[in-house]
């Protein structure tokens, strides 16, 4: 693993992974983040991992940029040697059901036309891949996952929707995600997932962490509504 450490602010450093692919970069950032957590460094206030970078926010009254750089470099060596324990098991796959019939206002036909394939092909190709959670952001519980099969890669909508329903499963370019709550959005909607992704009353509040693996499977509308009622009953 190779990392480039830069100053982000007066009390933060940003670390970039310098591997050869998006997957390798994200795996390296996840490993570094886990290694830093395992060291229980009191000076660190927050770790924010992204696709191929990690923001390290620290307490300026306890340390400085140079000292924190040395701690990060040491943890980078530990991560490279695999001498740390991941909090998420990369052999475990989160299975999520998707009703590709819903909502009526979806973009399946648009995706199919853009890629010159059938709607059934879009659904099959979306379900065939096991996705990695690369980053969390945009909204609480929103996980940027990838990468989709290039045969269904589709650009964002020219004009975003003002309202995307809760649980909407969508793609943009080669990313896929689920909208955890109703919100505006410009991604192409494929279907709806009945599983709640974010609940502030639970611990952990978010279903996903960076590095998780996710697999989608198709269900019909009857199964969707049944699972939705069950899921709402547990909240």
- Of the candidate CATH numbers 2.40.100.10, 2.170.120.40, 3.10.20.740, 3.40.630.10, the domain formed by 93-233 belongs to 2.40.100.10
Q: Which two tokens stand for residue 155?
A: 């650009």
The CATH 2.40.100.10 portion of the chain extends over 93-233
Q: Over the stretch 168-205, which tens digit does the pLDDT of each residue have?
A: 999 999 999 999 999 999 999 999 999 999 988 888 88
Residue 172 β-bridge partners: 175
φ and ψ at residue 118, rounded to 5 degrees: -85, 165
3-state secondary structure of 226: helix
Token readout for 40 is 């229980």
Q: What residues does CATH 3.30.1360.40 cover in the chain?
A: 3-81
Q: Please name the fold of domain 3-81.
A: Gyrase A; domain 2 (3.30.1360)
Q: What average pLDDT does the chain have?
A: 91
Say how many CA atoms lie within 13 Å of 124 toward its Cβ. Answer: 7
Q: Are 221 and 104 in contact (CB under 8 A)?
A: no
Q: Looking at residues 15-34, what average pLDDT do you find? A: 90
**pTM of the predicted model as reported, rounded to 2 decimal places:** 0.82
CA 46 to CA 14: how far, in whole Å? 12
Cis peptide before 89, with omega less than 30 degrees from 0? no
Rounded CA-CA distance 235/227 in Å is 13
According to the model, what pLDDT value does residue 91 have?
Answer: 60
Q: With CA atoms as reference, report the closest residue to 32 among 12, 48, 43.
A: 48
The structure tokens listed for 223 are 């199964």
């Amino acid at each position: 693993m190779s990392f480039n450490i830069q100053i982000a602010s007066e009390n933060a450093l940003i670390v970039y992974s310098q591997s050869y692919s998006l997957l390798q970069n994200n795996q390296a950032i996840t490993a570094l983040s886990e290694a830093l957590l395992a060291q229980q460094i009191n000076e660190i206030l927050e770790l924010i991992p992204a696709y191929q970078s990690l923001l390290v926010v620290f307490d300026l009254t306890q340390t400085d940029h140079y000292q924190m750089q040395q701690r990060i470099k040491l943890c980078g060596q530990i991560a490279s040697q695999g001498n740390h324990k991941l909090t998420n098991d990369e052999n475990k796959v989160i299975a999520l059901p998707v009703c590709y019939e819903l909502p009526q206002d979806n973009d399946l036909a648009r995706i199919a036309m853009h890629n010159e394939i059938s709607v059934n092909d879009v659904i099959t190709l979306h379900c065939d891949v096991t996705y990695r959670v690369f980053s969390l952001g945009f909204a609480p519980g929103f996980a940027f996952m990838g990468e989709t099969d290039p045969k269904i890669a589709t650009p964002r909508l020219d004009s975003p929707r003002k309202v995307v329903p809760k649980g909407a499963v969508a793609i943009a370019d080669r990313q896929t995600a689920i909208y955890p709550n109703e919100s505006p959005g410009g991604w192409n909607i494929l279907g709806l997932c009945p599983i709640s992704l974010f609940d502030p009353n639970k611990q952990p509040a978010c279903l996903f962490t960076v590095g998780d693996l996710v697999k989608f499977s198709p269900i019909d509308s009857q199964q969707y509504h049944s699972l939705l009622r069950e899921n709402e009953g547990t909240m």
